[in-house]
């Protein structure tokens, strides 16, 4: 197979992979972020301590993470058909990719949020901050560098999952490698897809690491803490009270 024959196939496969991974990452982040935060808040000693809720959410996350992706795809075929009307193609592959990514990302979020200094949480509580304020002003901002790193890890994992989705007609680079590289013995095309995946993953890892380091330097744990920012907002009011006195 010549390069002129490979090029349109590779362009289409790359587009399908980007669509699958992009949408599934977005859904995984939107679904996994609140789950991960809830796992921390409802844990023993958490702001919303609730053993039953914590165990239920934890068990759901554990089950979702324990299933091999290829089995998850097969198990969700009826659900995928109900959502997209088909079980073949990149659109159908987004459903199991997203469902597999949510518990994966949720555990990473839990780990990142647990690393936040509990003293900051206590300080905001002492100033009358409620749970939503603590999540918005302390937990998420302080854990942001780790959350960026977690998102990077999730994207790379979903790229690997998308390649597996190609083995059952999910489209993308995995499907191209199987159909042409394995079934039609086009070894050259298969190695090109491997090289593309390696380059893409390396670029994503580099970009994620750079963003996490930049956030860590600008804010995150090394910048002004939410406690200090909240205290600064209180200073003018306090000064006004002293002046009146």
pLDDT digits (tens, 9 = 90+) for 56-97: 999 999 998 888 888 888 888 899 899 988 888 888 889 999
Helices (H) and strands (E) in the chain, counts: 11, 0
Return the closest-CA partner of residue 77 out of 92, 91, 62, 98.
92
Give the lowest-confidence range in 29-33, 128-132, 207-211.
128-132
Structure tokens at 47: 């702001």
Contact residues for 77 (Cβ-Cβ < 8 A; gap 6+)? 87
What burial class does residue 224 get, using C-beta atoms within 10 Å of its C-beta: 0-12 exposed, 13-18 middle, 19+ buried? Answer: exposed
Element (H, E) at 60: helix 51-66
pTM here is 0.83
Tell me the three state secondary structure of residue 37. Answer: helix
Give the lowest-confidence range in 147-151, 183-187, 222-226.
222-226
């Amino acid at each position: 197979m010549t390069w002129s024959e490979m090029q349109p196939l590779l362009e289409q496969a790359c587009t399908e992979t980007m669509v699958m991974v992009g949408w599934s990452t977005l859904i995984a982040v939107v679904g996994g972020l609140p789950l991960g935060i809830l796992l921390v808040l409802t844990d023993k000693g958490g702001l919303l301590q609730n053993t039953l809720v914590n165990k239920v959410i934890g068990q759901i996350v554990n089950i979702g993470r324990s299933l091999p992706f290829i089995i998850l795809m097969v198990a969700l075929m009826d659900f995928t058909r109900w959502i997209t009307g088909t079980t073949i193609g990149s659109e159908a592959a987004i459903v199991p990719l997203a469902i597999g990514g949510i518990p994966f990302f949720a555990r990473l979020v839990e780990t990142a949020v647990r690393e936040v200094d509990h003293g900051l949480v206590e300080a905001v509580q002492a100033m009358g901050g409620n749970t939503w304020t603590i999540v918005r002003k302390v937990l998420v901002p302080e854990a942001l560098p780790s959350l960026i790193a977690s998102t990077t890890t999730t994207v790379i994992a979903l790229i690997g999952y998308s390649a597996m989705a190609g083995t059952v007609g999910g489209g993308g680079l995995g499907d191209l490698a199987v159909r042409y590289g394995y079934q039609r013995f086009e070894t050259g095309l298969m190695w090109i897809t491997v090289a593309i995946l390696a380059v893409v993953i390396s670029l994503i890892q580099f970009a994620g690491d750079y963003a996490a380091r930049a956030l860590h330097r600008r804010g995150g744990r090394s910048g002004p803490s939410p406690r200090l920012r909240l205290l600064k907002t209180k200073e003018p009011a306090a000064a006004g009270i002293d002046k009146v006195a």
